[in-house]
Amino acid sequence: MAKNDSFKVSAEELSHQTPEYLETLFAVGNGQIGVRSGHPLKVNELYGGNPGSFVNGFFDSEPIQYGEWAYGYAKEHQTIIKLPNLRGVRLQIGDEDSSASEWQVKPIQMTLDLEKGVLDESYKVVTPLGKTFELVMQSFASVTRSELYVCQYQIKNTNFSEPISMTHPLEQKAAIVQTDDPRVASKAHHLRKADYQDYAIWTAENSQRSIAIRVINGEKQLQAEETLTTVFQMKLLEDNQNHETPFNQELADFEVLLQEQQQSYQQFWAASDIQIEGDPVLQKGIRFNLFHLNQGAGRDGRTNFAAKGLTGEGYEGHYFWDTEMYLLPFFIFTNPEIAKALLSYRGKILPQAKQRAQELSQEGALFAWRTIDGNETSAYYPAGTAQVHINADIVYAFQLYERVTGDQAFIETVGSEVVFETAKFWLSYGDLVEKDGKLAFCINGVTGPDEYSALVNNNFYTNKMVQNNLYYAIELAQRFGKYQESISAWQQAADLMYFGYDEQRGITKQDDGFLEQAVWPFETTPAEKYPLLLHYHPMVIYKHQVCKQADTVLAQMLYTGDFSLEQLKKDYDYYEQVTTHDSSLSRSIFSVMASRIGDSEKAYRYFMDTALMDLTDLQKNVVDGIHAANMGGSWLSLIYGFAGLYYDQGLRLANHLPQKIKELKFTLFYQGEPVKINLKDQRIDCQLAEETRLIATKTDGGIWIKER
Ligand code: BGC
């Protein structure tokens, strides 16, 4: 990538040029609407590419067909609906029609302007009869008016004088992806369209979910230099909502909308930017990631952040633990309002989680491993429902939100019920049994984050997170005078939580059996057999010591203070050797922990892979959408890793900058106040607001920011 303006990413500087890859990276979104940068003219499926648009939470469903069914299996697929390529237009000049004949369209430039939140493009077009002109476009999904996607077209440099008629052939059918890759697994979906005065309602046949779409200014006869600004207004309708008046947002001129967009991005960057001295390519890569994080987050409390944001069909638009463990730290520390909205979604789907616990004959609530509407939609329970740690991950995020923002009211009204209900689940699912000659609270038959070890006993990460879940439940029960009768049982389970340790080797046990298994034959596994999940039966994978992603190391990132440095190093070295990083959620965590154990060179290497993962298509599936969790992970590598951020009755920070990074500057919000951090050479400095309730003290290795 070129080292020019680090707020601009242009197609020509990227290593790959296939349409599907560019469509993902240059997708624009606002948390509600996402539009892949599909070809503006070649809207026909035959032309290749995989254009389309998404509305967060708009999905269709169908029953999961199991060859062999068992009680309690998830019932329905949920698949985000790929809507037509909104940007696509049909042009006619005299008798020539772009939908009927092949017009040559050559991109001149395509640039994502991260500073302003807009996509700028231009194309040179030649018709079969030799008419030539330039098509210039500017488009964005409005962050301030979440229902709007705006696209402005201009015709320039024509060699003819007739007007060009421009229309939006929205009825174009979206392409359906057929694939063997379980990470995509897209399903066909069917939409019914009903026209009203100036809008249409599109209803998904099975889920019966509807959206209203209004196309404002969809057609025009354009003379050279003229522009057409088309605005798409889209709204997901609540169940049984009156279809008569779906839209209440006022519209405004293009210039006003554009200005709002720029202002909103100004605020975003003021709060979220990370400045990195010494490596312009990296600087750009990080800004690109932060930009996509802002684009993907649902902000209405009813939707969340899909694993691919709103940029592709990968993982069917589902929400996972990715939100809580990889994305929420970024939002909690830089934009707590968005964090609150994402957490509100969990509060909203608590009834479904309670019902799921019942289906599993348990008390309390069990959140779905993957879902859009709150119901479990994972058809493969060993790597789905069995990842019960999602309960404790959600609780961890509520707790972090409270610690960092001080927003107790939200915890009282929304968070506490989630914390109590999940605590109840743990007490009914876990077992107080004799283990290693002592009474211990064990959680058996679960899958930890490492999806290459399924249905294990006492996954270390899970047990650690559950222990925290229970202690937080006790704290809240005492604070709010609730569940007094449960406190002693929660206390006992948390205090007696089992953690496996291999005394002989001095290694933390990922689970009861992991260290007793044969190590995966890494030396004889050729590079093309990775990711293993696409080449080996699960049974072959599960019986080996091999990790798809950070598991014990992730627990140690979250609870670094509970371990000696020596232990952290030993566990890191051990688990690193058996980890494939087949999941994009892995490297960032290994980067953070390498920073914390003092291996800054390794931290840098892992970090570089995470920072540029999608721009360089490291996982080779950017076509299906961005890797949102990894993008959040690159923030973690920088802030939790290089800057050592760790919550401990306040914020502890340290300087673990690798040699290649000369200076790192960013802002965190703590208790509602901005804290500016600057790392340079061996120093770490912080600047607090002028009138502040915070105090920063120097510690051995860094600084500690607390309330006065
Ligand atoms: C990972 C999961 C993750 C999911 C969605 C899988 O490959 O193993 O941890 O939640 O992708 O990103």
Cα–Cα distances (Å) from 39 to 33, 42, 239, 541, 623, in that order, read 18, 6, 34, 41, 14
Bridge-based pairing of strands 544-545 and 518-519 is parallel
Q: Quick one: average pLDDT of 481-488?
A: 98
Q: How far is the CA of 137 from the centre of ligand 1 (A)?
A: 35
Nearest-angstrom CA–CA distance, 55 and 302: 12
Phi, psi of 679 (to 5 degrees): -110, 130
Q: Contact 237/210 with Cβ under 8 angstroms?
A: yes
Instruction: State whether residue 125 is helix, strand or coil.
Output: strand
Q: How many CB atoms lie within 10 A of CB 203?
A: 18
The predicted pLDDT at position 189 comes to 73
307 lines ligand 1 (CB under 6 A): yes
The pLDDT of residue 142 is: 98
Residue 108 pLDDT: 95
Higher-pLDDT residue of 193, 677: 677
Residue 299 in this model has a pLDDT that exceeds 90: yes
Whether pLDDT at 419 is above 80: yes
Question: For ligand 1, is residue 449 a contact (CB within 6 Å)?
Answer: yes
Q: 280-296 vs 600-611: helix axis angle to the nearest 10?
A: 60
Give per-residue pLDDT as tens, 632-654: 999 999 999 999 999 999 999 99
The pTM of the full predicted model, rounded to 2 decimals, is 0.96
Secondary structure (3-state) at 191: strand
- In whole angstroms, give the CA distance from residue 534 to residue 277: 39
Closest atom of ligand 1 relative to the 318 alpha carbon: 5
Farthest-apart Cα atoms in the chain, separation = 90
Q: Is 68 exposed, middle or buried (0-12, 13-18, 19+ CB in 10 A)?
A: exposed
Q: Are 554 and 629 in contact (CB under 8 A)?
A: no
Whether 326 is in the pocket of ligand 1, judged by its Cβ within 6 Å, is: no
By three-state DSSP, how is residue 490 classified? helix
Contact 490, 473 (CB under 8 A): yes
- Give the chain's domains with CATH numbers: 12-62+76-243+252-267 (2.70.98.40)
**Ligand 1 neighbourhood includes 548 CB (under 6 angstroms):** yes
Residues 6+ apart with CB under 8 A from 430: 441, 442, 443, 466, 493
Q: Is any ligand 1 atom within 6 A of the Cβ of residue 315? A: yes
Query: Percent of the chain having pLDDT more than 70?
Result: 95
Report whether residue 549 contacts ligand 1, using a CB cutoff of 6 Å: yes
**Mutation pick for ligand 1 pocket among 322, 326, 369, 377 (CB with most ligand atoms within 8 Å):** 322
Q: Is 624 in the pocket of ligand 1 (CB under 6 A)?
A: no
Taking CB atoms within 8 Å and a gap of at least 24, the contacts of 290-293 are 290/330, 290/631, 290/635, 291/112, 291/114, 291/117, 292/614, 292/626, 292/628, 292/631, 293/327, 293/330, 293/331, 293/628, 293/631, 293/632, 293/635
Q: Which uninterrupted H or E stretch holds 294?
A: helix 280-296
Put the strands of the sheet holding 164-167 in their side by side order.
96-97, 90-93, 164-167, 220-222
* Whole-Å CA distances, 549 to 509, 522, 586: 15, 15, 5
Mapping DSSP to helix (H, G, I), strand (E, B) and coil, where does residue 231 land?
A: strand
Query: Is the pLDDT assigned to residue 466 strictly greater than 90?
Result: yes
Average pLDDT, stretch 293-306?
A: 98
Q: Known catalytic residues?
A: 451
pLDDT of 153-185, one tens digit each? 999 999 999 999 999 988 655 545 556 777 675
* Residue 249 pLDDT greater than 70, yes or no: no
pLDDT tier for residue 187 given thresholds of 50, 70 and 90: low
Give the pLDDT band of residue 246 (cuts 50, 70, 90). confident
Bridge partners, residue 507, by sequence? 502
Residue 134: beta bridge partners? 124, 156
Tens digits of per-residue pLDDT, 75-113? 999 999 999 999 999 999 999 999 888 899 999 999 999
Tell me whether the omega of the peptide bond preceding residue 521 falls within 30 degrees of 0, making it cis: no
Question: Taking a C-beta distance cutoff of 8 angstroms, is the pair 297, 331 a contact?
Answer: yes
- The answer to whether 116 touches 261, Cβ cutoff 8 Å, is yes
Which atom of ligand 1 lies closest to the CA of 548?
8
How far is 359 from 419, CA to CA, in rounded Å?
20
Does 451 contact ligand 1 (Cβ within 6 A)?
Answer: yes
pLDDT on residue 197: 87
Q: How many CA atoms lie within 13 A of 232 on its CB side?
A: 30
Ligand 1 midpoint to CA 452 (Å): 11
Atom of ligand 1 nearest to the CA of 383: 8
Nearest CA to ligand 1 atom 8: 583
Please give the residue that has the higher pLDDT: either 505 or 247.
505
Name the residue with tokens 């925290």: 468
- Report the alpha-carbon distance of residue 233 to residue 644 in Å, rounded: 43
Minimum-distance ligand 1 atom for the alpha carbon of 370: 10
Cα–Cα distance measured from residue 81 to residue 229, given in angstroms and rounded to the nearest whole number: 25
Closest CA to 610 of 184, 288, 309, 334: 288
**For ligand 1, mutation pick of 181, 320, 624 (most atoms within 8 Å of CB):** 320
Q: Is 92 helix (H, G, I), strand (E, B) or coil?
A: strand
- Whether 146 lines ligand 1, by a CB cut-off of 6 Å, is no
Q: How confident is the model at residue 188 (pLDDT cuts 50, 70, 90)?
A: low
- 583 alpha carbon to ligand 1 midpoint, in Å? 6
Q: Which residues pair with 432 in a beta bridge?
A: 441
- pLDDT tens digits, residue range 317-374? 999 999 999 999 999 999 999 999 999 999 999 999 999 999 999 999 999 999 999 9
- Per-residue DSSP letters for 549-606? S-SHHHHHHHTGGGS-HHHHHHHHHHHHHTB---STTSHHHHHHHHHHTT-HHHHHHH
How many alpha carbons lie under 13 Å from residue 583 in its C-beta half-sphere?
24
Q: Which amino acid is at 626?
A: I
Average pLDDT of the chain is 94
For the sheet with 651-654, list strands across it: 646-647, 651-654, 702-707, 694-698
**Gap from CA of 293 to ligand 1 centroid (Å):** 17
Residue 487 exposed, middle or buried by CB count within 10 Å (0-12, 13-18, 19+): middle
Q: What is the DSSP string of 253-282?
A: -HHHHHHHHHHHHHHHHHHH-EEEES-HHH
In a mutational test of the pocket of ligand 1, which residue from 315, 451, 532 has the highest number of ligand atoms less than 8 Å from its CB? 451
Which residue out of 385, 452, 585, 588 has the highest number of ligand 1 atoms within 8 Å of its CB and is therefore the one to mutate? 585
Closest CA to 448 of 572, 577, 548: 548
Q: What is the pLDDT of residue 3?
A: 46
